[in-house]
Amino acid sequence: MSVRCQRTIAQPCEVTGVGFLTGADITLRFIPAEENYGVRFQRVDLPGTLPIPARLDYVVPRQRRTAISRGGATVEMIEHAMAALAGLQIDNCLVQLNGAEPPGGDGSSLHFLRALLEAGIVDQSAPQPLIVIQHDAKVQGERDDSEIVAALISRRLMAVTYELDYGARSPIRPQQLTIEFSPELFVTNLAYARTFVLQAEADALRQQGYGTKLTEKDLLIFGPHGVIGNTLRAVDECVRHKVLDCIGDFALLGCDVHGHFRAYRSGHALNHAICRQVAAAASGQTITVTSRAA
């Protein structure tokens, strides 16, 4: 991943399905956008509300998901749509939806990815801004030993290492993955990885009224003896999904990053926190690179 020009989609495309949290039928439209527009989500069911930039400044605190809010409009659980856009290096896009969250699909990014690839991707003229991580930054969880380090890397790319470890008694086995980001890698190795929850967590969410339409066919639910009523797409599908989540969350920086993120048991809140550190450290950096290399 070197300096590159910004990209958008060639034509609008649509994804329909059920929202994981609300159970509502949702239609989502990806619409091409001009250079430097970034990614913005717009609630078309709330007339008069403005598109919400998918940037750190608009993130609102949530458990186990990424949500953005502006004025009277909030969009929940944007991370898998964001991962599909970032994974394909689509920088400028208006995302319109008629409900509070994107369609959940199968809990991965595949349903978004397919629509975007079918729409086609086009290069624009402006260079995509870039942050080069110069000094290590680190954030840690407040209530556990989770952490993320963002470190200098000697090559011009973004690497992500994720170490998932819920302990010896968890039905989800410890697993680790390091990737060097590229759209090709995202399409073949990450996009298919689905959301997962423990059975106890799924029960607790249902009691709160969330995910009441979901079954074990719609995402990965882990009971004491492993995944229930479903088959893993890869033995390490869970850690692949965690890296997918990182790709979606790191895109809230609104630019490319060259550096190595090393995450241990992190979730969305910590992903946002490391992005804030990286953005703060880079605030004095000249981040828009001039040349238009590939």
Q: Could you list the active site residues?
A: 268
Q: 176 pairs with which residues across the strands?
A: 163
C-alpha Rg value of the chain to the nearest Å: 18
CB of 245 to Zn ion, least distance (A): 4
- 3-class SS at 189? helix
Inter-residue contact 22 to 36 (CB < 8 Å): no
Tell me how far, at minimum, the Cβ of 80 lies from Zn ion, in Å.
6
Cα(29)–Cα(2) distance, integer angstroms: 29
Shortest spacing between CB 225 and Zn ion, in angstroms: 23
Task: Output 92 or 195, the one with its CB closest to Zn ion.
Answer: 195
Binding site for Zn ion (CB under 5 A): 195, 245
Name the residue type at position 229.
G
Q: Which residue, 3 or 263, has its beta carbon nearer to Zn ion?
A: 263
- Residue 195 CB, nearest distance to Zn ion (Å)? 5
Contacts of 202 by beta carbon, 8 Å cutoff, 6+ apart = 211, 214, 221
Judged by beta carbon, residue 243 or residue 282, the one nearer Zn ion is 243
**Residue 7 or 194 with smaller CB distance to Zn ion:** 194
**Where would I find the H helices in the chain?**
79-87, 110-119, 183-185, 199-207, 237-250, 268-281
Q: How many CB atoms lie within 10 A of CB 196?
A: 20
Nearest approach, Cβ of 292 to Zn ion (angstroms)?
Answer: 33
DSSP 252: G
**Whose Cβ is closer to Zn ion: residue 146's or residue 195's?**
195
Tokens 């890296």 -> residue: 243
Residue number with the smallest Cβ distance to Zn ion: 245
